[in-house]
Amino acid sequence: MITRRNLIAAASVTALMLSASFASAQDKLYIPLVSKGFQHQFWQAVKAGADKAAAEFNVDVTFEGPDTEAQVDKQMDMLAAALAKKPAAIGFAALDSQAAIPLLKQAQEAGIPVIAFDSGVDSDIPAATASTDNLAAASLAADKMAELIGGAGKVALVVHDQTSRTGIDRRDGFVNQVAAKYPDIEIVDIQYGGGDQLQSTEITKAILTAHPDIKGIFGANEGSAIGVVNAIKETGTTGVVVIGYDSGAAQKAAIMEGTMAGAITQNPVGIGYETVKAAVAASKGEAVTKNIDTGFFWYDKTNIDAPEIAAVLYD
């Protein structure tokens, strides 16, 4: 027979269970990741790596970014909002390597460890940076360009920006390698398209018009590279070597059809995973590696299906 006393006891047990469940949820570390955006498939792959680490380390992770990689102010608002929630640690991929420093100083003062990912900042505040060695990767892109155009001729760069660490390093890695090793290659133009493929398409069309004898163009991120490819197709240009960066579906298709010679692929899943892993360790006061090199590879039609390459490509 169910008595009032039994009902009260059952309700008490349920309340205790709910309370314990809530306390357990509250005990989970909260780590927000503020990325450069969701404009490219690259960031979806970074998020997949972060989610994998969140499940493995039993932490709560959120992942957000502005609509485009030109919205620095919006990214600053997202960073401020994330810090206001007093997280255990925070991951941050800077659109502007200097603009975020005041907010990162606030994080430092509040004892919130910062893990930079993909693109660092001009500060020693981050406990670690999980990223590609973009200088070395862009140097390799320059070597491949030189090989494919016979070591001589005019080339240009379409870069996503000149404010983020990735934009700066990919530009400088390519330019410096050409200057150091290839005296017969002339860089005739460097343009910035905000990582937007439509803007990068128009920029590339202008480059092709201004330099009809150009031999090669390097697109320094996913949107830049696809913009270059689209301009080549829309203008019917032939004989221009296109080298890209990153490895979304559109770039892979361009390589297979021959419009793009090849590209540098990062390891975006690894970047997301290592960011969360480092954030968990830093939040517990454990030592973390200051510079976490997540690696890069050259891929083209000859090796795109190789297991070590296929593992770091994404759709």
Tell me the three-class secondary structure of the chain, residue by residue.
Answer: CCCHHHHHHHHHHHHHHHHHHHHHHHHCCEEEEECCCCCCHHHHHHHHHHHHHHHHHCCEEEEECCCCCCCHHHHHHHHHHHHHCCCCCEEECCCCCCCCHHHHHHHHHCCCCEEEECCCCCCCCCCEEEECCHHHHHHHHHHHHHHHCCCCEEEEEEECCCCCHHHHHHHHHHHHHHHHHCCCEEEEEEEECCCCHHHHHHHHHHHHHHCCCCCEEEECCHHHHHHHHHHHHHHCCCCCEEEEECCCHHHHHHHHHCCCCEEEECCHHHHHHHHHHHHHHHHCCCCCCCEEECCCEEEECCCCCCHHHHCCCCC
Domain match, 230 and 138 both: yes
Domain match, 127 and 141 both: no
Note whether residue 306 is domain-resident: no
Note whether residue 205 is domain-resident: yes
Domain match, 260 and 212 both: yes
Domain match, 57 and 170 both: no
Rg over alpha carbons for the chain, rounded to the nearest Å, is 23
Domain match, 94 and 144 both: no
Domain match, 252 and 140 both: yes
Note whether residue 313 is domain-resident: no
Buried b (16+ CB within 10 A) or exposed e, 263-287: bbbbbbbbbbbbbbbbbbbbbeeee
- Structural domain of 148: 134-265
Boundary-marking domain end, from 265, 284, 305: 265
Note whether residue 311 is domain-resident: no
Domain match, 121 and 178 both: no
Domain match, 238 and 179 both: yes
What's the confidence (pLDDT) of residue 26? 53
Note whether residue 12 is domain-resident: no
Note whether residue 18 is domain-resident: no
Domain match, 261 and 138 both: yes
Note whether residue 58 is domain-resident: yes
Domain match, 126 and 274 both: yes
What's the confidence (pLDDT) of residue 111? 97
Note whether residue 20 is domain-resident: no
In 3D space, the residue among 205, 208, 189 whose CA is nearest the CA of residue 197 turns out to be 205
Domain match, 172 and 157 both: yes
| Residues of the chain with confidence (pLDDT) below 50 | 1-2, 4, 7-25
In 3D space, the residue among 272, 145, 279, 276 whose CA is nearest the CA of residue 215 turns out to be 145
**Which CATH number belongs to the domain containing residue 154 in this structure?**
3.40.50.2300
Structure tokens given for 228: 């270059």
Number of domains in the chain: 2
Boundary-marking domain end, from 265, 280, 305: 265
Domain match, 229 and 278 both: no
What's the confidence (pLDDT) of residue 16? 40
pTM above 0.85, yes or no: no
